[in-house]
Structure 1
Amino acid sequence: MASPGEHASFLPPVLTFLAAAVVGVPVFRWLGQSAVLGYLVAGVLIGPSGLSLIAEPGTAASVAEIGVVLLLFIVGLELHLSQLVSMRRDIFGLGAAQLVLCSLVLGGAGVLAGQPMGAAAVVGIALALSATAVALQLLEERGDLGSPYGSRAFAVLLFQDLSVVGILALMPLAASAGHGTGGPWLGEAAASTGRVLAAIAAAVLVGRYGLNPFFRLLAASGAREVMTAAALLVVLGTAMLMEKVGLSMAMGAFLAGILLAESNFRHQLEADIEPFRGMLLGLFFMSVGMSIDGSLVKAVWPLLFGATFAAILVKVALVAGLFRLFGSDTVSALRGAAVLAPAGEFAFVLLPQAADLGLTGPTATRFAVALAALTMLIGPIMAKGLDRLVDARLSREAHEAAAESPAELAEGAADARVLVIGFGRFGQILTQVLLAEGVPVTVIDKDVAQLRAATRFGFRIYYGDGTRLDVLRAAGIGKAELVCICVDDRDAALKIVDIVHEEFVSVRTFVRAYDRLHAVELMNRDVDYQIRETSESALAFGRAALEGLGLSAEAAAARAEDVRKRDIARLVLQQAGALPDGATWLGGSDSAEVRPEPLTEPVRPARALNAQTRDLLGQDRTEAAERLLAKPVPRPADNGEAEAGVEDDAELEAEGTARDV
């Protein structure tokens, strides 16, 4: 029987990783840097080159790779095959151009440095590949994964993952050519390609016809932990299958995500996988930090750091040029190039294999591995610095443009009565109303495309981040009568409200609320006006639907008004904590959510129309049906009763109108 000490032997490294993450990441976030950098530096400190707290960094790296696998699975869940088809130009055009051009330039630099052709080619390809985990994490932190440049960056990463199979297959050919031998390489390559295609076909068939029934069966059991285990089984099983046939584990997980993107269980799977993904991805970044060879860095640090900066700058220049060629504006091209600048995870696979095949020598391999790791360490810092330089340049250009404007226009702009933060779909419609009345407006946004659109409105325009006090001051918030906060980020909106209330107490705050919970948070901050972004449009839609069903315009308007009054009353009660039946807060005060409940009692119980829906609803459906069947069925009210319902709620509605209308 194992002793208690043997059972606990795994605890020290686990506690070391956890402590490094808990200390390192908040420090770097406080410094305004990416969490990725915090993990990387933490890995350097606890690894062999630092305090040597981890005895076997290689073991941690093998476990940490699962974090990248889970990341690609979640990305796959967010995509559909139709989206991939629409991205084919960026995947196979931009992605191929990036890999070929960067490999040629970086490989050519290796030849000039005295490396043999084969070794320089391998090192050039390894450095041309980009870090999927780093790039996606940076895009996620910026909230730009769905932006045009974020989509192009993801297309490049996807092509690189696909190309790794061919690269790994070509390396033995390069090695045999270098030794003057032929061999059965062509037959082996054909067999490898056949295995890959067969594995993909098997995964597609199982995903198309087997996964939904499988998850339906598990959902019927009601065991939540079994669903989590099944999610991990599908992801890791597909990843391992693809690795066995020559694809990367990350590519296999991405394929699994694509296959499940149309599943009814997609959101449940994402929620189950997310906690594992976050922790293991952090472990992956720390393992990269631990892989840096400290003795080599000390011995040749001027050459190593010079090569690191040169490689990053070359990739940024080349990729930015390609982004521009494929239609991105200059700012987006630079930002996309910056997130793709660090070398990829596959560098740590290609370079050791090249050494085993005799393509690179031991010294060149160690140097290239350290160079790849350092690009992942320094790349996020340079990306952050590039963001600040771009922001500063655009802000300066905006000031210069304002200074060059005619004097009368400058004087009129200085008297802008309204400051609009966010010129997206919501802000554009709002400003149409202000423009129609001739109200002077200043617009703040950090999206260049939106700012260009704003120039057609004749507004005063300021490029910058509306959550920064200096940007608000420079845009003239102190002279504005009210600020309209129209951003689609709830946390950013709350931050702007706090800044305005603290620094500009005389300025009124009108805020776009993301959802019901966000509306309550804004009401608690005593904003002057807030409205949920979809509430009025949905009520108008419902009113039109009633008219389409034959109701008169007056009757339909009365129904919609009744619902509006009831909804306002419930919102005020939810803010005060006195909730109506069923409108329950879920979770704690910091992570609450609102369960949707009908404002009018349903006239009949809900019914599931197929077996799959019955499995999904389970016992909750049965309980709801029994509860409704036990109550008398109300008669639909006529117009007079609708108005009476409004009067019954008059007292609550009065306060609700002041806060929400």
Structure 2
Amino acid sequence: MQEQHAFPFLREILLFLILSGILIPLLQRLRINQVVGFLAVGALVGPFGLGLLADGVPWLAFLTFPRGEGISMLAEVGVLFLMFMIGLELSAARLWAMRRWVFGAGTAQVVASAALIGGALLLLGMETRSAVILGLVLSLSSTAVVMQLLAQQQATGTPLGQAAFAILMAQDLAVVPILLLIGALGGGTGNAHDSVAMLALVTMAKAIGAIALIYLVGGKVVHRLFRSFAEHRQPDVFMALILLSTFGIAALCAQAGLSMALGALIAGLLLAETEFKHEVELMVEPFKGLLMGLFFMTVGMNIDTRLVLEAPLLLGALVFGLVLLKALVVTLLLRIGGQSWVRAFEGGLLLGQGGEFAFVAIGAAMASQVLEPALGARVMLVVGLSLFITPVLAKIGHALGERHETRTRELVASGDQSELASARGRIIIAGFGRVGQQLAKLLGEQHIPFVAFECDAKLVSKLHAEGKPVYFGNASRPELLRHVHAGEAPAIVLTMDHPASALQAVRGIRREFPHVPLFVRSRDEKHARALRLAGASVVVPETLEASLQLSAFVLEAMGLDERQVDAIVDHERAVVTARLLEPEAKA
């Protein structure tokens, strides 16, 4: 008993670390989503799982979390770091780069989903205040689950992955006003004669003022602290500053009557705007999986699985309704944004679940007496179940998307076979982006025949319908090039944007067609040297030609003769070209 007072909740901390040490590598090996795994284990070893048997089976007390006190302490730490990491992701530069999706589609998704969910709850007889809060909270999806699934599918860089990430960023931004609204509505129950809406507005105004003060003053203090201590370059000092910023600003928010979770989010936002952002991310990265696991395991422990047995059909209908409503909203928005119907539906299934922030917000709402504990417990269970089924839904959506794209490629390719067979003696353009299209325009004006290949099936369908000789396919494949008689082509031009793909294509083409002139676009001089060594006849670095043209305009503006400028530019081009041949000469 004495030891318990000396180090409170030591057993709970040790048990969590043991479970994490076993779970994290096991889930990675089995390729099971970590969030779902931690939720399941938390539900299993928590007070509503095996913890219920701990009184009758004493040894189970050492392997479970039968008491709520230790869980709540762990949960608080998990929530703070989860919110800190969300804030760290929301840099102004990142938001501005994706502003159309973040502030357009993302905002529309939150508003439309909140309106539909809140409206449905009102129709079911829920009071307005609870319906508004739950509508907003349930409109958010799980950043942790979705980003992990996209990474597993290697889809984070695809148009759908980028759109999904932008919508998640907009949802993360919505966290601040939702937390403020919960605090305001929680404070609006004291005076029966005052309007709840007016009290909510006053409370929110005070909260916004406090946040602005913390943000402005805290930003200057945090930046100066990091700048002064960063000179020492000591990792332990840097980690201490991260912890100080997180817990210090969380404590300031608590003193101002705001949520500590909101304070941790603000700490992340402050550091995201400094030059130390990437260093902070590197310091937090080793603990990221552990801290996320801590949060989701404690969430699983708070899910009362007995409620499933009480009303399984009702819970199933609520989970289905939540996912269906959100999936429909996301599907329509992605379709409007330019995705195909199948890819848009894939995105809808991916973002249809409730989010991890729901557990934070519902806990705050129950503490503020905005939600009744029984209702809050049921909503948490609905969100938890929606997280469990998300990997399955995402797998179905991804399979449908891949199948649709494969079918589109086959249709485009099958319609092109007869036309391609007659493509003799034409220049072959591989890659029909902006560079390829400009080249094709110039060739067309000079009545020089060409044939082009592009991997974007949607772009190919559009251009082919316009009568352009553009076909679907990867020009690095020898069988495709043989089909268009590449050995008889006057030249092959590679305008691919991806450096590795271009290098692979040059090697393949040169191996199959050693005598065909091969003109290649490169990113820079380093990439150009690699392409030359692989067998490219002529390599044009993007940076070289842009800088030479700009230099020519400047020299002419300074009064130099046009012929003199041409001589200078040609000489510089020759010098760079000779430099590109140096590795080959040495070899």
TM-score normalised according to structure 2 size: 0.70
Aligned partner of 1:20 in structure 2 is 23
* 1:536 corresponds to which of 528, 538, 541: 541
Q: Deviations over 1:88-134 (max 9, x none)?
A: 852895155324323234415644xxx66666555444433322433
Q: For residue 308 of structure 1, report the CA deviation from its aligned partner.
A: 1.8
Q: Separation in 2 of the partners of 1:205 and 1:220?
A: 24
Q: For residue 186 of structure 1, report the CA deviation from its aligned partner.
A: 6.7
2:40 aligned with 1:44, yes or no?
yes
* 2:111 corresponds to which of 91, 94, 97: 97
| Residues 118 and 359 in structure 1, CA contact (< 8 A), matched pair in contact too | yes
Could you say if the C-alpha distance between residues 396 and 554 of structure 1 is closer, same or farther in structure 2, counting changes exceeding 3 Å? same
Q: Separation in 2 of the partners of 1:110 and 1:263?
A: 47
Q: Separation in 2 of the partners of 1:357 and 1:211?
A: 31
Q: Separation in 1 of the partners of 2:471 and 2:240?
A: 52
Q: For residue 311 of structure 1, report the CA deviation from its aligned partner.
A: 1.7
Aligned partner of 1:602 in structure 2 is none
Aligned partner of 2:76 in structure 1 is 62
* 1:395 corresponds to which of 365, 389, 406: 406
Secondary structure of the 1:143 match is coil
| Residues 141 and 355 in structure 2, CA contact (< 8 A), matched pair in contact too | yes
Task: Give the partner amino acid of 1:71.
Answer: M
Identical residues among aligned pairs (%): 22
Secondary structure of the 2:355 match is coil
Q: For residue 161 of structure 1, report the CA deviation from its aligned partner.
A: 1.3
Q: Separation in 1 of the partners of 2:259 and 2:427?
A: 57
Matches within 5 A, 1:194-213: 194-206=205-217, 209-213=220-224
Task: Give the partner amino acid of 1:165.
Answer: L
Q: Deviations over 1:500-520 (max 9, x none)?
A: 98xxx9699999887899899
Q: For residue 70 of structure 1, report the CA deviation from its aligned partner.
A: 3.7
2:369 aligned with 1:366, yes or no?
no
| Residues 338 and 382 in structure 1, CA contact (< 8 A), matched pair in contact too | yes
| Residues 242 and 249 in structure 1, CA contact (< 8 A), matched pair in contact too | yes
Task: Give the partner amino acid of 1:24.
Answer: L
| Residues 184 and 201 in structure 2, CA contact (< 8 A), matched pair in contact too | no
Matches within 5 A, 1:556-635: 556-563=569-576, 565-566=578-579, 569=582
Aligned partner of 1:381 in structure 2 is 392
| Residues 149 and 328 in structure 1, CA contact (< 8 A), matched pair in contact too | no
Aligned partner of 1:272 in structure 2 is 283
Aligned partner of 1:349 in structure 2 is 360
Task: Give the partner amino acid of 1:539.
Answer: L
| Residues 94 and 156 in structure 1, CA contact (< 8 A), matched pair in contact too | no
Matches within 5 A, 1:99-114: 99-108=113-122, 110-111=124-125
Q: For residue 389 of structure 1, report the CA deviation from its aligned partner.
A: 1.2
Gaps of 5+ in 1: 29-34, 573-649, 656-661
2:89 aligned with 1:75, yes or no?
yes
| Residues 427 and 449 in structure 2, CA contact (< 8 A), matched pair in contact too | no
Aligned partner of 1:458 in structure 2 is 468
Q: For residue 20 of structure 1, report the CA deviation from its aligned partner.
A: 0.7
* 1:153 corresponds to which of 155, 167, 187: 167
Secondary structure of the 1:227 match is helix
Q: For residue 154 of structure 1, report the CA deviation from its aligned partner.
A: 3.7
* 1:142 corresponds to which of 126, 143, 155: 155
Q: For residue 44 of structure 1, report the CA deviation from its aligned partner.
A: 0.9
* 2:585 corresponds to which of 636, 642, 651: 651
Secondary structure of the 2:93 match is coil
Aligned partner of 1:295 in structure 2 is 306
Task: Give the partner amino acid of 1:143.
Answer: T
Could you say if the C-alpha distance between residues 285 and 350 of structure 1 is closer, same or farther in structure 2, counting changes exceeding 3 Å? closer
Q: Separation in 1 of the partners of 2:102 and 2:400?
A: 32
Q: Separation in 2 of the partners of 1:531 and 1:72?
A: 47
Q: Separation in 2 of the partners of 1:24 and 1:54?
A: 20
Secondary structure of the 1:221 match is coil
Q: Separation in 1 of the partners of 2:255 and 2:434?
A: 47
Q: Separation in 1 of the partners of 2:119 and 2:256?
A: 31
Matches within 5 A, 1:423-434: none
Secondary structure of the 1:142 match is coil
Aligned partner of 1:127 in structure 2 is 138
Could you say if the C-alpha distance between residues 485 and 530 of structure 1 is closer, same or farther in structure 2, counting changes exceeding 3 Å? farther
Task: Give the partner amino acid of 2:231.
Answer: A
Q: Separation in 2 of the partners of 1:260 and 1:359?
A: 32
Task: Give the partner amino acid of 2:35.
Answer: Y
| Residues 293 and 370 in structure 1, CA contact (< 8 A), matched pair in contact too | yes
| Residues 44 and 292 in structure 1, CA contact (< 8 A), matched pair in contact too | no
- The Cα RMSD (Å) is 5.3
| Residues 36 and 388 in structure 2, CA contact (< 8 A), matched pair in contact too | yes
Task: Give the partner amino acid of 2:377.
Answer: R
Q: Deviations over 1:564-610 (max 9, x none)?
A: 554665xx5xxxxxxxxxxxxxxxxxxxxxxxxxxxxxxxxxxxxxx
Could you say if the C-alpha distance between residues 392 and 2 of structure 1 is closer, same or farther in structure 2, counting changes exceeding 3 Å? same
Could you say if the C-alpha distance between residues 517 and 527 of structure 1 is closer, same or farther in structure 2, counting changes exceeding 3 Å? same
* 1:193 corresponds to which of 175, 190, 204: 204
Pairs aligned (count): 541
Q: Deviations over 1:286-336 (max 9, x none)?
A: 444454434333554444334323321221113333555677764564455
Q: For residue 153 of structure 1, report the CA deviation from its aligned partner.
A: 0.8
| Residues 350 and 397 in structure 2, CA contact (< 8 A), matched pair in contact too | no
Secondary structure of the 1:272 match is helix
Aligned partner of 1:310 in structure 2 is 321
